[in-house]
Each structure stands twice: as C-alpha cells, then as structure tokens.
C-alpha cells in the first residue's frame, strides 16, 4: 500500500482471518474490543442478499457504511468509496442486493466487505491434465504433417511425386518418429 494515497483510496487485500462478534456481525475494527468476544473466521465470500442499513459513513471517509442481512441480525461494514461500484455492479430487487458475491477486505486495520470483481467471480480454470503418450505422439504427428504441408504449399506443389530427391528426403525425415 502506498503511503502517498489516503486510507480510503487504498485497494485493500483479503485478510487471513476476519473478526466477527457473537451475533455474526463483521467488526469494522478490533480496536477497543475485548479479545475474548471476537470470533475470528476464514474470509469466505458471502452470497447473502444484503440491504443498505446505515449510510452515516458517507459523512466521513473513515466511518463505514453498513449493510444488513434482512433475514438475520448480521451487519457488514463497507468502505464508503466502494458503495458506487457496489450499486452500479449489482441487481437491486425491492431494496435487496441479490446475486452478488461479497469479499471481506482489510484496509489500514479496518475491515469491510467489497463487491467481488467480475473476473474474480469466475472459478479459476483447472490445471490441464498431463497428456498421455498417445496424445503426445498424435500431436507430434500433426505438427510434422503441418510442416510437410507448409513446405509443399510454399513450393506450390500439389503432391509429393514430382519433388526433387533432396526435398523428398527432407519430408521423409520430418515424418520419421525420431527427429533428424
């Protein structure tokens, strides 16, 4: 984080653990809280429908905006600068933000949620499985045949019958299993 940028403009990062109280509220800060009352959880993304609960945070850059779970007592703070992106990038149905994925962030020892970016919402592509020996051999065969076709197309030849002996030898060597 750059010290040249104010705290509210810091990008934030996903912490290794997030503080909650006994009611399921995400705590905006652990300062002044009894350590025994803080429940540390994994920073799992939230897919709850949330409604805007308290916007007094818009009066100051360090005070959070609060989102509430309409079906429970849990509240979640948000950094004020993230509100516009959250409203523009979500579907709001009867006052509820639905279908959004929220991630907990930490910025300068303050905790809050932010809308997960579009590219972050997609599951990472799985690592490709290693190719079998047969698949590798087929790929090498295809690559060799492409090289032969490229040579023939470059010379303007339709077939391999009327080629000079040196070029026939080159094509034969390309097609062999072992490279020349």
3-class DSSP assignment, residue 169: helix
Q: How far apart are CA 110 and CA 104, in angstroms?
A: 10
Please report the pLDDT score of residue 9 as a whole number.
53
Please report the pLDDT score of residue 1 as a whole number.
45
Q: How far apart are CA 5 and CA 1, in angstroms?
A: 8
Tell me the whole-structure pTM to 2 decimals.
Answer: 0.59
Q: How far apart are CA 144 and CA 170, in angstroms?
A: 11
> Which is nearest to 78 in space by CA: 44, 54, 112, 45?
112
Phi and psi angles of residue 140, each rounded to the nearest 5 degrees, phi first: -65, -40
- Helices assigned H by DSSP within the chain: 83-88, 118-121, 133-155, 165-175
Q: C-alpha distances in angstroms, 50 versus 53, 72, 110?
A: 9, 10, 20
85-92 own/partner pairs: CB under 8 Å, 24+ apart: 85/114, 85/115, 86/114, 86/115, 89/115, 89/118, 90/115
Domain spans of the chain, in order of start? 7-121, 133-175
Low-confidence ranges of the chain (pLDDT < 50): 1-2, 7-8, 119, 178, 180
Q: How far apart are CA 159 and CA 162, in angstroms?
A: 7
């Amino acid at each position: 984080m750059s010290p040249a940028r104010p705290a509210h403009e810091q990008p934030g990062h996903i912490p290794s653990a997030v503080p909650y109280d006994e009611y399921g509220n995400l705590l905006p800060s652990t300062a002044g809280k009894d350590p025994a009352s803080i429940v540390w959880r994994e920073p799992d993304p939230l897919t709850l429908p949330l409604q805007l609960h308290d916007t007094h945070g818009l009066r100051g850059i360090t005070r959070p905006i609060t989102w509430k779970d309409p079906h429970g007592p849990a509240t979640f703070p948000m950094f004020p600068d993230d509100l516009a992106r959250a409203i523009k990038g979500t579907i709001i149905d009867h006052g509820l933000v639905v279908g959004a994925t929220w991630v907990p962030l930490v910025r300068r020892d303050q905790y809050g949620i932010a809308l997960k970016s579009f590219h972050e919402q997609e599951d990472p592509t799985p690592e490709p499985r290693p190719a079998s020996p047969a698949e590798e051999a087929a790929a090498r065969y295809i690559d060799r045949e492409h090289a032969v076709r490229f040579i023939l197309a470059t010379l303007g030849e339709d077939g391999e019958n009327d080629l000079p002996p040196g070029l026939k030898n080159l094509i034969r060597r390309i097609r062999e299993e072992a490279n020349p």
